[in-house]
Structure 1
Amino acid sequence: MARLITRRLLLGRALLAGLVRAATGAGHADAAGRAKGAAATAPAAAATEPARRELLVFAAASLSEALEEVGRAFTAATGMRVAASYAASSVLAKQIEAGAPADAFFSADVAWVDYLEKRGLIQPSSRRDVLRNMLVLIAPADSTLRLRIARGFDLAGALKSGRLAIADPDSVPAGEYARAALTRLGVWSRVSDRAVRGENVRAALAYVARGEAPLGIVYRTDAQAERRVRVVDVFPEDSHPPITYALALTARAPPKAAQLVEFLTGDVARQIFVRYGFTASPQPQLRK
């Protein structure tokens, strides 16, 4: 039976050497470690990397459930195994820069694909803008809060004595979008000192799901994947930059990896992504 080999998202640090072991089937270490730790171990890891029998995708944390199902479908269709490692797009891009053995990068922010392209670390001809997402305000599922998002809305009052859970706005795309939206709506200055910052969007989601924060800002797909939270309201699309997921093969990817890009942008994958709450780009073509 076809199966996706998955590196589950970890909220702590992981050594890049573990990624190499995982990619060769010798372990299941996750790539969610900080870029600083990755940079320290990457050269030795890259130098000793043996031939791999599977494709390794570095993907934004928000893609985890959907990409697992897509990966199983890809294996069933092609016979090729695919592994995925999830973390913040910024962390993954830095790890690829440091020499991590990824074959493809699926980012929640086109800026991090730009970052790698400028450094010659992706194959430009493989690059596609594939999916879109929405930004939502969430609360624990048992919360009775009603709040409409609009310019100057009373987010600080809704928090009462609690904290606002967001991904780190200084490094994580979901956090950057959240800060941009709150700034555009004129409320960031009132709540910035009350934000609890997660190292990725799933960390922010977890704060609210566990009841440790009364409100949080995540992607719509994250809220849909977690039964312990509910959506309070959706941020206006014009309050933040478009949330676009970009896909590209790394410079080191083998020729067979092109089949993965073709599949991830095809009808089967598109239907799966839409079911998980993403909006598919009408025709995911090369982004110029």
Structure 2
Amino acid sequence: MLKRFLALAVGLGLALATLPARADEVYVFAAASLTNALNEIAADYSARTGQVVKLSFAASSTLAKQIEMGAPAQIFASADLKWMDYLAGKKLIDSASRRDLLGNRLVLIAPAASPLAPMALTAKTDIAALAGSGRIATGNPDSVPAGIYFKQSMTRAGQWAKVAPRIASAASVRAALALVERGEAPLGAVYATDAAISRKVKVVGTLPDSLHDPIRYPFALVAGKETPAARAFLAALSTPAARGVFAKYGFTVN
């Protein structure tokens, strides 16, 4: 299933790279964890201004690669600094427009019916033991931000060697959430905002911030695609109304 998803993602990137952006629309490529908040903000913005906003959600790594291939994104919103820096290094974003708008926290989740009780997680908590004989769902630890943060946490806690063979690697943080929702994994590492939108999972605990790099969401215009409409929508994401929506979904607003 994962291989099929990745193949579809690459295929989508190739298809998008051949499609020109319409001048009267704003194209936003955003990390999967932003889905609910940005859908609400964009719908409200379109209702107020008449501006059409097209949103595409996936893992930050997938979207960055699609932008590199020429996909018609005008705004990129990443769930970590790495993939925004990747595009900046290739001069594919407008650095002057870059803003770190949001923050998040990394939590462990379990299916709602799991016997696991909420607990205070520390560097000494045996994460592999919490999963029993099952696997731990998270984003791909080599490319998907949520998985990268989780790998950092387990590495700094001295547990990665024990946890790594138990990882159920997903193509995005929402895909990892779905694995736990369906009971295919008894434990998962996702963002607090992802856990908050699902009634099928519960939060077991929050991983200490000290175990991973700060979770920050940089937003920026894509170089060469800085239309007035795109600039206006990016600016709208910093307004009190938008900040209120982000906060409602559990993001830390910078």
TM-score (norm 2): 0.93
Q: Which amino acid aligns with 2:44?
A: A
Q: Does 1:180 align with 2:144?
A: no
Instruction: Please point out which of 220, 227, 230 is paired with 2:199.
Output: 227
Partners of 2:13 and 2:29 in 1: how far apart?
Answer: 16
Partners of 1:226 and 1:164 in 2: how far apart?
Answer: 18
TM-score (norm 1): 0.82
* 1:157-172 alignment runs, 5 A limit: 157-172=129-144
Q: Is this contact kept in 2: 1:184–1:239, CA < 8 A? A: yes
Q: Which amino acid aligns with 2:73?
A: A
Partners of 1:244 and 1:173 in 2: how far apart?
Answer: 10
Residue matched to 1:120: 91
Q: Is this contact kept in 1: 2:64–2:87, CA < 8 A? A: yes
Q: Is this contact kept in 1: 2:138–2:147, CA < 8 A? A: yes
Residue 153 of structure 1 and its aligned partner are, at CA, apart by: 1.4
Instruction: Please point out which of 231, 239, 245 is paired with 1:266.
Output: 239
User: For this pair of structures, how many residues does the alignment match?
Assistant: 249
Residue matched to 1:280: 253
Q: Is this contact kept in 2: 1:140–1:229, CA < 8 A? A: yes
Residue 208 of structure 1 and its aligned partner are, at CA, apart by: 0.5
Q: Is this contact kept in 1: 2:108–2:205, CA < 8 A? A: yes
* 1:1-288 alignment runs, 5 A limit: 12-13=5-6, 33-34=9-10, 37=11, 45=18, 49=20, 51-146=22-117, 147-253=119-225, 254-281=227-254
User: What secondary structure is seen at the aligned counterpart in 1 of 2:137?
Assistant: strand
Residue 144 of structure 1 and its aligned partner are, at CA, apart by: 2.1
Q: Which amino acid aligns with 1:280?
A: V
User: What secondary structure is seen at the aligned counterpart in 2 of 1:117?
Assistant: helix
Partners of 1:173 and 1:75 in 2: how far apart?
Answer: 29
Partners of 2:100 and 2:170 in 1: how far apart?
Answer: 26
Gaps of 5+ in 1: 1-10, 16-32, 282-288
| Alpha carbons of structure 1 residues 164 and 258: separation in structure 2 relative to 1, 3 Å | same
Q: Is this contact kept in 2: 1:70–1:272, CA < 8 A? A: yes
User: What secondary structure is seen at the aligned counterpart in 2 of 1:12?
Assistant: helix
Partners of 1:107 and 1:14 in 2: how far apart?
Answer: 21
Percentage of matched positions with identical amino acids: 48
Partners of 1:40 and 1:243 in 2: how far apart?
Answer: 29
Partners of 1:244 and 1:155 in 2: how far apart?
Answer: 24
Partners of 1:118 and 1:191 in 2: how far apart?
Answer: 32
Residue 38 of structure 1 and its aligned partner are, at CA, apart by: 5.6
Higher relative CO (CA 8 A, sep ≥ 6), structure 1 or 2?
2
Residue 148 of structure 1 and its aligned partner are, at CA, apart by: 3.5
| Alpha carbons of structure 1 residues 167 and 272: separation in structure 2 relative to 1, 3 Å | same
Q: Is this contact kept in 2: 1:164–1:196, CA < 8 A? A: yes
Q: Is this contact kept in 2: 1:38–1:98, CA < 8 A? A: no
Q: Is this contact kept in 2: 1:140–1:228, CA < 8 A? A: yes
